[in-house]
Amino acid sequence: MSPRLAWNGYGKAAVRLVKVEREGPENEVHDFTVDVQIQGDFLEAHLEGLNAAVLPTDTMKNAVYALAREHPVAPPEAFGARLAWHFTGACPAATSVVITITVHPWERAGSSAMIRNSTERRVAAVTVASGGTAVEAGLEGLGMLRTSGSAFSGFLRDRYTTLADASERLMATDVSARWRYARAPGDWQTAWRDVRAALIGTFTTHQSQSVQQTLYAMGSAALEACDAVSEIRLVLPNRHHMLVDLSPFGLDNPDQIYVATAEPYGRIEAVVAR
């Protein structure tokens, strides 16, 4: 049996792009990490070392910067689509181009000063292929915490189970979400903000019996918030906070003193669709 090339993709990853818009009294900063991936007919490059069909990844990097200079980069979904269509034309062997843009937010601290105080990142992913254009949006690293309104009980037990039922517990997570658009919304920025607000609002108010239940409620709220969204994938790591035993020191602990643990952690994920 001879081996065959079952799939291939290549591109430029982690292209760091910062664009400053200096029009008007206050500067605007757009801080992106751009990933470019091209999939297609590059069989000769892999089997024969012939590179006539291969667009250099250095060219991809240069194109990102040049197109950012010539065109707006906000919203990232529109800039991603512009990049994807450019590379589709620049590389005839491409059958699919995937552009993923991660947005690193800055908070204004003056007309020309910014501060960063959050690990949250906005994400836009655009795929251009023969079937058309598919757009996904999302966010990563949205840290949220509830000090009340969260429970976990009645779960399956076996000989290794030590976890006790909890009618009230501290629940913390770093939300990652990706939602797919069935069609272009009226405004990309508004759509992203509406979905984000729905996720935060539901986490804040939902009376949770499990992370799974809260995840589903958040996904349902996101679909309701934007009718252009067809489905949303949510990942909610359960960032455990354990009560500290203070009895050796003659002290009680009425759900006040916790130790935050990084690993291991629970990972709850699901796709909620229409």
Q: What is the pLDDT of residues 159-176, one digit of tens each?
A: 999 999 999 889 999 999
Q: Which of 30, 86, 206, 240 is catalytic?
A: 240
240 is catalytic: yes
> Residue 257's pLDDT is what?
86
Q: First CA to last CA across the chain, in angstroms?
A: 44
Read off the amino acid at residue 42: F
> Residue 237's pLDDT is what?
96
pLDDT bracket for residue 118 (50, 70, 90): confident
CA 62 to chain centre: 25
Q: Is the pLDDT of residue 26 over 90?
A: no
Q: Tokens 């799974």 appear where? A: 212
| Percent of the chain with pLDDT strictly greater than 90 | 87
Q: What fold is seen in the domain 9-130?
A: Urate Oxidase (3.10.270)
State phi, psi for 217 to the nearest 5 degrees: -65, -40
Token representation of residue 274: 């229409």
Mean pLDDT of all residues belonging to the chain: 95
- In degrees, to the nearest 5, what angle opens at C-alpha 38 toward C-alphas 99 and 2? 145
Q: Which of 12, 30, 61, 86 is catalytic?
A: 12
The Cα 61–Cα 13 span in angstroms is: 9
Q: What is the pLDDT of residues 237-259, one digit of tens each?
A: 999 999 899 999 999 999 888 89
pLDDT bracket for residue 217 (50, 70, 90): very high
The Cα 33–Cα 15 span in angstroms is: 5
3-state secondary structure the chain: CCCCCCCCEECCCCEEEEEEECCCCCCEEEEEEEEEEEEECCHHHHHCCCCCCCCCHHHHHHHHHHHHHHCCCCCHHHHHHHHHHHHHHHCCCEEEEEEEEEECCCEECCCCCEECCCCCEEEEEEEEECCEEEEEEEEEEEEEEECCCECECCCCCCCCCCCCCECCCCEEEEEEEEEEECCCCCCHHHHHHHHHHHHHHHHHHCCECCHHHHHHHHHHHHHHHCCCEEEEEEEEEECCEEECCCHHHCCCCCCCCEEECCCCCEEEEEEEEC
> Residue 61's pLDDT is what?
96
pLDDT bracket for residue 111 (50, 70, 90): confident
57 is catalytic: yes
Q: What is the pLDDT of residues 182-195, one digit of tens each?
A: 999 999 999 999 99
Q: What is the pLDDT of residues 68-100, one digit of tens each?
A: 999 999 999 999 999 999 999 999 999 999 999
Boundaries of CATH 3.10.270.10 in the chain?
Answer: 9-130, 142-273
The Cα 191–Cα 239 span in angstroms is: 28
> Residue 112's pLDDT is what?
82
pLDDT bracket for residue 271 (50, 70, 90): very high
Q: Specify whether the CB–CB gap between 55 and 92 falls below 8 A.
A: no
Query: Which architecture does CATH list for 142-273?
Result: Roll (3.10)
Cα four-point dihedral sign 217, 222, 225, 231: negative
pLDDT bracket for residue 102 (50, 70, 90): very high
Average of pLDDT values for 117-133?
Answer: 93
Q: Is the pLDDT of residue 213 over 90?
A: yes
Q: Which of 33, 57, 95, 133 is catalytic?
A: 57
161 is catalytic: no
Query: Beta strand 132-146 with 121-129: parallel, antiparallel or unpaired?
Result: antiparallel
pLDDT bracket for residue 260 (50, 70, 90): very high
Q: Is the pLDDT of residue 179 over 90?
A: yes
Average of pLDDT values for 143-169?
Answer: 93
